[in-house]
Amino acid sequence: MDVCSRNPNRTSPVSEAGGGDQVPLCSRTNGWSWPPHPLQLLAWLLYLFFAITSLGIFIPLLPPHWLPAGYICTGIMLVGHLCVHVMAVSLDPADQNVRRKTTSGPVPVFDRSRHAHVIENCHCYLCQVDVGPKSKHCSSCNKCVASFDHHCRWLNNCVGRRNYKLFLNSVISALLGICLVLVSATYVFIQFLLDPSQLRTDTHFQVTNDTGLWFVFLPLAPVDSAGAVIPVLAAVTIGLGLLSCTLLSHLLGFHMYLMWNRLSTYEYIVKQRHRQGTRGASAKTPTRKASFYLIPVLNIKPKTQLQTPRHKCKSHGC
């Protein structure tokens, strides 16, 4: 039986005493590796929805002098986003030594009784190769990623040094493309409520006199539709577009902040956890001092325990 087919898109299990047999997992090559993430499927569905509604429904209803700009600008942004998105998904962001490794198969089970971290002294005990100082073993892809930034569920792939610029270009092109779709959808929605006749400039509308009959997918493949379909689709597109623009703007602003401070997403999260741990320790300091001063009064001699601090690797572990 092929153990790779059982891959639940998670890291290799930790071996425990008495835990029974555990199935080792295979590493993922890129965002096309099985299984797909639900957010990845949602991203493709949203792309198809925006592309079909804008090019097939809203832009053909624009004034004639707006049609060339609408088709050219929106088409360029949609095609550009498709190209950079596919490249960001297809590129393998693994560490160079991991990609050079010729042996393939399941990732070995990590034994925490022997090693405190997956990566120690720039050596990964799961990938079984030496990695760079900024590499991290991703628990979702089961491999070390060079200059690890984060694991993007929308791409179903890790974002690292090799595809970080593609990831940013994908976010920017998606934001610009959705803004263009919002402009055309908003115009059609408002004009349909004010004066629907301004939207019926195509020759297919001039042939019929029925004002309640509308066409979609003009001018190449006109399909009859009811008049209520146009404003409903425009309203849905505006709602999804505003939500998508808000999320993409927040994501782009966050990565601009990271680039300004020369941080990765992983380093930012580690610093935030460190700050929270420091605040929690400072909040408990008065209680510890009080208990310390109560010990002489109660005439209790606490046992002194000497603990050897664990060696912390400079590189990132799991």
Mean pLDDT (the chain) is 80
State the pLDDT at residue 104. Answer: 62
pLDDT of residue 203: 77
Q: What is the pTM of this model?
A: 0.78
Flag whether pLDDT at 308 surpasses 60: no
Helices marked H in the chain — which ranges?
A: 38-53, 67-90, 96-100, 164-194, 203-207, 229-260, 265-283, 285-298
Q: Are 93 and 220 in contact (CB under 8 A)?
A: no
Amino acid making up residue 119 = I
318 vs 30, higher pLDDT: 30
Greater confidence (91 vs 14) lies with 91
How sure is the predictor about 82, in pLDDT bands with cuts at 50, 70 and 90?
very high
Residue 20 has pLDDT above 60, yes or no: no
The predicted model gives 98-123 an average pLDDT of: 73
Cis peptide before 35 (omega within 30 of 0): yes
Domain ranges of the chain: 3-13+22-267
Catalytic site residue 152? Answer: yes
Catalytic residue among 152, 158, 313, 318: 152
- pLDDT tens for 34-67 read 889 999 999 999 999 999 999 999 999 998 899 9
